[in-house]
Structure 1
Amino acid sequence: MFESRHIKTFHEVVRSGSYSAAARSLGYTQPAITQQMKALERAVGTPLFTRVGRRVRLTEAGEAMARHADTILDSLSAAQQQMNAITRLRSGRVRVCAFPSAAATLIPEAMARIAAEHPGVRVELLEGEPPDSLRRLARGECDLTLAFTYPGLHAEVPAELVEIPLLEDQLTVLLPTGHPLARRRAVHLNDLTEERWIAGCPRCRANFLHACAEEGFTPDIAFTTDDNLVVQSLVAAGVGVAVMPALVLSFLCHKKVTGRLLEPHSRRQISAYALREHLRIPATALVLAELKRAAEARVGC
């Protein structure tokens, strides 16, 4: 295996024509140049130079090495420049997997700042619900995952992932605007026992069923969909009501839908997840910092 410093020294010896000239150019002593060239020759397994007076001449192996030295050094220089760009956030790619309501709220706010301040950093957005999104992270299909958990419900998280809490998201109930309970500031779950329901993703549905069981009733789930816009449309049409996180209230699309706080109060924990070693990658750390900033702004609203 060749050392890059030996290749650099070899290149200078070839350019200048002697060990002493290379030593002056590189700021080394001549014995240091000699030792490096001997080490390179040992690595190659054959002499690279022969002496002609005070100058050196390349052997056949030396000529072959010289043909590759420029390419090797150019590649090393390009690699160093690219690494500098990545560490100084002039470039980089981060793949973020997020569930829909986070993708519609936290992600745009964070990405807008990154695009303005670090235009060379590319963020790619994938959509996925937990626990599948966490498995995708563990498989290396993304670099950061936004996921949520509910208190009291067991959630499997791969052991190799690190959780970074972002915010707690209050649950609300979506009602048709003309619903009698829409005039209240908050609605108790027990007041909705006779309603037909629209349920969401498997994790949200499991929490909803658990909450209803705690209140002593089984809900009539008429529709199931992961699409927030579909949920809103169904509620607006008056065919059911739905429990939704407060994040969704910031992008309600229907004037015929009203969101009210749900009692008893229930919240979901929204967190970012990453492989531990990825937290040291500058672009990933930047995206995570901006997601934290976006989450803190939501808490203050």
Structure 2
Amino acid sequence: MYQLRTFREVARLGSFTKAARSLGYAQSSISAHIRALESHVGFKLLQRMPHGVRLTAAGEIFHDHALRIFHVMDEMASALNPTGEMAGRASVGASALLLESRVGSLVRECRYRYPHVRVSPRQLSISGATEAVRTGSVDVALVHGDHGVQEPLPVGVMVRELPPIEVVPVGRTALARAGDRAQALAGARVLVVDPDCVSHQVLATTLREAHGVDAPLVEAGSVGGARELARSGYGVAMLPVESMCGGEECYGLAVVPGLPRVRLGVRALWSDQAMAAVAAVCGVAERVGRERQPVEAVEFA
């Protein structure tokens, strides 16, 4: 059905690019859907033009029957769920930073908007997100950073860009207030939350090049672990600005001046065979991301 929906949108707009923008997919996913359909029916459905696409003769026939299928599906959905309320279950895997900063709000918002949709969250590694979706281990994967962005997604895995997340260098308050910051940073360690995230590498590079500190990387395992280690003075962690109590200081922690703030892209991945509840959860994830954006974000170049 997702492939048919993609075909219908491409036919309506006459463009892969416009269809990708309309559906929130990567253009490579649109192309993969159309190739799969053409392979299945054994006919070319779309003719590529210099400025878009148009239906072939076979595509016209296919399009007519696809619209009938959607009509029958709508009738079936109405018969099965006469109240029209969204229902179902969505297992959501999220990278550690997103699990800490956004998933709680996602669960609450889904509960409010879709009382009959049950969201089951779990932590997921960034590098394992695509495979988890492909194999059905999770229905939706929410990940940040650029790990695997340049690699083509497997056929059947869809992607949607979500509002970015900003992470900031966080350490104990005494470190942030130190008059001689170079001396205060001399024994610093970089606390790693997500091994696949680029932000701790950016922090380590800045410490080395700007402050002459060759800081070792220490895996903290979670945002909570990194926060406690930073509070004890063990090191500096790149944590979501959204989690900093709305200010520069937060329960013994503070943003350390002179170190980089990094804005990271966020993506939702899901299977093209997913139920409607999954698409609803992705929509809520985008809304939550927009609402959690800081008023003034500093982008690291």
Give the TM bin, normalised by the shorter chain: 0.5 to 0.7
Q: Which residue of 1 aligns with 2:239?
A: 244
Using the alignment, how far apart are the partners of 1:86 and 1:223 within structure 2? 54
Using the alignment, how far apart are the partners of 1:130 and 1:155 within structure 2? 14
Q: Which residue of 2 aligns with 1:174?
A: 170
Structure 2 gap ranges (5+) = 1-75, 296-301
Residue aligned with 1:131, SS: coil
Q: Residue type of the partner of 1:113?
A: E
TM-score norm. by structure 1 comes to 0.59
Using the alignment, how far apart are the partners of 2:229 and 2:78 within structure 1? 51
Question: 1:264–1:299: structure 2 CA closer, same or farther, 3 Å change rule?
Answer: same
Which structure features the higher share of helix residues?
1
Q: Which residue of 1 aligns with 2:223?
A: 228
Point out 4+ residue stretches in structure 1 off by more than 4 angstroms: 80-83, 153-157, 191-194, 250-254, 260-265
Question: 1:134–1:251: structure 2 CA closer, same or farther, 3 Å change rule?
Answer: farther
Taking the TM superposition and a 5 Å limit, the aligned residue runs for 1:12-23 are none
Rg bigger for which structure?
1
Q: Which residue of 2 aligns with 1:284?
A: 278
Identify the match of residue 195 of structure 2 among 185, 192, 202.
Answer: 202
Using the alignment, how far apart are the partners of 1:109 and 1:213 within structure 2? 33
Question: 1:197–1:137: structure 2 CA closer, same or farther, 3 Å change rule?
Answer: same
How far does the alpha carbon of each residue in 1:98-118 deviate from its partner, in whole angstroms, 9 at most, with x for none?
123322332222322322332
Taking the TM superposition and a 5 Å limit, the aligned residue runs for 1:240-279 are 240-250=235-245, 255-260=251-256, 263-278=259-274
Taking the TM superposition and a 5 Å limit, the aligned residue runs for 1:1-301 are 84-85=80-81, 88-150=84-146, 156=151, 158-160=153-155, 161-179=157-175, 181-182=176-177, 192=185, 195-204=188-197, 207-209=199-201, 212-213=204-205, 216=209, 219-221=214-216, 223-250=218-245, 255-260=251-256, 263-278=259-274, 281-299=275-293, 301=295
Using the alignment, how far apart are the partners of 1:262 and 1:155 within structure 2? 31
Q: Residue type of the partner of 1:105?
A: S
Percent identity reads 15
Residue aligned with 2:292, SS: helix
Shift of 1:136: 0.7
Shift of 1:82: 9.5
Q: Residue type of the partner of 1:285?
A: A
How far does the alpha carbon of each residue in 1:22-55 deviate from its partner, in whole angstroms, 9 at most, with x for none?
xxxxxxxxxxxxxxxxxxxxxxxxxxxxxxxxxx
Structure 1 gap ranges (5+) = 1-79
Q: Is the 8 A contact 1:102 1:247 kept in 2?
A: no
Using the alignment, how far apart are the partners of 1:219 and 1:83 within structure 2? 65
How far does the alpha carbon of each residue in 1:76-132 deviate from its partner, in whole angstroms, 9 at most, with x for none?
xxxx68973399334211111112332233222232232233222122212212111
Shift of 1:211: 5.5
CA RMSD, 1 decimal: 3.6
How far does the alpha carbon of each residue in 1:141-172 deviate from its partner, in whole angstroms, 9 at most, with x for none?
11111011248x86656333222111222231
Shift of 1:173: 0.7
